[in-house]
Amino acid sequence: MHDYDTASRTLSWETYRAWLDAEPGGWINIGHEAVDRHVLEGAGSKEALRWLGKNGERRSFTYADLERESDRFARMLADRGFGQGSRVFSLLGRVPELYFAILGTLKLGGVFCPLYSAFGPEPIRSRVEIGHANVVLVSARDYRKKIAGVREELPDLKLVLLTPHSETPPPGTVDLGQALERTTARFECLQTSPDDMALLHFTSGTTGKPKGVVHVHEAVVAHNATGRIALDLRDRDIFWCTADPGWVTGTSYGIIAPLCAGATLIVDEAEFDARRWYSILESEKVTIWYTAPTAIRLLMKAGAYLAREYDLSHLHFLASVGEPLNPEAVVWSNEVFGRPFHDNWWQSETGGIMIANYASMDVKPGSMGKPLPGVEAAILEVTDAGVRPIDTPMTPGHLALRPGWASMFRGYLDQQERYEKCFRDGWYLSGDLAMRDADGYFWFVGRADDVIKSAGHLIGPFEVESALVEYPAVAEAAVIGVPDERAGEIVKAFVTLHHGFEPSEQLRKELMAHARKRLGAAIAPRQIQFCEDLPRTRSGKIMRRLLKARELGLPEGDISTLETTA
C-alpha cells in the first residue's frame, strides 16, 4: 500500500476477496487458501515452514509437504468418523504436527481450537468442556498431568492423539505418529461455505467463565489482506511471528496470514532468550518480524549493545501486537534497528488487524495507527440514551467498529446474550477507550474498566506508564487507581528497574518529578512502588486488575485461568 488515502478510497472487502481463490457467493476454505492454492499455482516447491527445535534440530517443509501432511491428518480423522463440524483442540506447542493438524482440520471442515500448553488442569478442563471438544492433541506428559484425571467428565471427547511418538500410549489414547504412518495422504479439501465455523478462540477476563470466540472460514479474507497491507507480507519474505500458537495471534498471523501470502514461516520451539532471538533474526535472514511489547521491553532491558553484535540488515518491517506499544520502544527500535516498530490494534473478537501503522505511513510513537481500508472505526460517547460520535480531536471515548468486516466474530459459543451486548446502534463496542487526532491516527487510552477517575479527570494507565518508562532507570511500569476520599481515586504506579539501578527514596522522588513534568500534577502518580517483577497473564500482558486486587486486599481468584485476547 503506497498511499493510505488512495487505498482507503479504492480498497474494499470485495477487492480483498478477489486476492484469493474465493468467488462471491462461492465456497471458501482456510486450509485451501493457505496451502493448496499455492500448490495448484505451481509453487509447491517453495519453502513454507522452517522449524527450529529447542535442542538444535532443524526441519524444512515446502508447500507441497504441508499439503501432503495436512491431507494425511484430515484423512486420518475422516477414517475415524470425524467430519464437518468436529471440534479439534490442541495443547501442542510449536511443533510441526500442530501445523499439519490445524490445516488438516480446516480442510476437513472441522473446527480448530488452539489452547496454551502451559495452562493448568482446570483451565484446560473448562475449555475442553465448554467447547465440546471431540479430539484433543496433546503430549503424553501433559495428558497424564492435565487430562487423564478428568477424562470421564468430558463426554464429548472421543479421541486423544499423543505426540511425540510413544511406544506404549496410555489406555484410551492413540499415538499420532503411528496413526499418520498408517494413513494415506489422499484427501480432497471440503468446499466449506464462508459462514461455516472454522476457528474457536477462548478469551476471558479476571472473572466469569471463558468466552469461546467463534470465527468462520470467511475470516481468511481478512487474514490474507491484513497480512499484506498491515504487515507488508509478500511471497519473498521470511516471516517470524513470535506469538505462541495457543493465542489468536499465533494462529491468525503465526500460521494463516503468512501462508496465504506464500511466505516462508519461521517457527522456533524454544522460549524467549535475547541472544537466541537475535541469532535467529540474523541466521535465518528474517525480513518481517511480528512480536509483542513485553518481548520488546525485555530486549530493551538486555541492552542495545547486544543487538549490535548481530547483522540484522535483512529486516525491513517490524510490527508489534498484544498490548499498546510504549513510545519509548518505538524510539529505541529506530535507534537500534534503524526502523520503527509498527504497532497495531485488534482483538480475538475482530479476528484480524483493524487499525495499524502501515509501511507507507509515518509512525507516531504511541499511536496504534489508522483503520484498515474497508474498516470504519470511530470514537463514541456511549450513554443509556444511545451512542454519539466524538469528532473533537484527542477526546477520549469508546473505540467502535462498524460490523461487516470478513473476520468479525460470529458469536460467543453458547452465549448469545453476551454476544449481543457487544453491539449498540449499529456499532461493535470494543471495550477499549481511545482518541483520534486531527490526522486520523488513533491513540489507545485503556480498557474501559481500567480507566482511572481522579478529581474529575479520566486518566488512561497507558499514558502514565509510557511517561515512566521514558525514565532511564525504569524497565516496566503498571498503573492503577486506588481509592482516595477527596479525589475518588489517585494514581499509583508499580515499576521495575533496569539492571544497575536500585530502589531508593531519592529515585522515587526523581520519578515523581519526571512524571509531573511530563504529565502535570493532575495525572502524574501520587504513589510509586518498586517491584522485582509485575504479575502477567500467560501471554505476557501485565495484569493491572490483579495489582488492584492485591492493593485493595480483595480475593485474587484462580490466577491460572487469566488470559488475554491478542
What does the block give as the cell for 498?
Answer: 533496569
Q: Which three cell numbers stand for residue 362?
A: 509515518
Q: What is the pLDDT of residues 497-548, one digit of tens each?
A: 998 899 999 999 999 999 998 888 878 899 999 999 998 876 677 888 788 8
Q: Which range among 34-48, 391-405, 434-448 shows the weakest confidence by mean pLDDT?
A: 434-448
- CATH fold of the domain at 30-37+59-217: Rossmann fold (3.40.50)
- Percent share of the chain, pLDDT over 70: 95
Q: Rounded to an integer, what distance in angstroms lies between the CA atom of residue 429 and that of residue 183? A: 47
CATH 3.90.1150.10 fits 450-561, yes or no: no
Is there a contact between 536 and 96 (Cβ–Cβ < 8 Å)?
no
Angstrom distance (rounded) from CA 102 to CA 252: 11
Q: Are 482 and 489 in contact (CB under 8 A)?
A: yes
* DSSP label at residue 526: S
Q: How far is CA 483 from the centre of its chain?
A: 33
pLDDT of 134 > 90? The answer is yes
Closest Cα partner for 434 from 346, 537, 540?
346
Q: What is the 8-class DSSP label of residue 327?
A: H
Q: Note the pLDDT of residue 561.
A: 35
Q: What is the mean pLDDT of residues 303-325?
A: 93
What distance in Å separates the CA atoms of residue 110 and residue 108, rounded to the nearest whole number? 5
Per-residue pLDDT averaged across 89-107, rounded?
96
d(CA 134, CA 156): 5
- Three-state secondary structure of 468-490: HHCCCCEEEEEEEEEEECCCEEE
Domain extent listing, the chain: 30-37+59-217, 450-561
Mean pLDDT of the chain: 91
Looking at residue 122, its pLDDT comes to 83
143-159 pLDDT, tens digit per residue, is 999 999 999 999 999 99
Closest CA to 104 of 255, 274, 226, 326: 255
Q: Which residue has the cell 503506497?
A: 2
C-alpha 273/C-alpha 271 separation (Å) is 7
Please state, in angstroms and rounded to a whole number, the distance separating the CA atoms of residues 294 and 559.
Answer: 19
Cβ atoms of 527 and 509 closer than 8 Å:
no
Strands 457-459 and 452-454: antiparallel
pLDDT band with cut points at 50, 70 and 90 for residue 367: very high
Which residue do the cell numbers 511500569 mark?
477
Which residues contact residue 566 at a Cβ distance below 8 angstroms, ignoring those fewer than 6 apart? 247, 248, 249, 321, 322, 346, 347, 348
Closest CA to 280 of 299, 267, 261, 263: 267
146: region left, alpha or beta (phi > 0 left; psi from -120 to 50 alpha): alpha
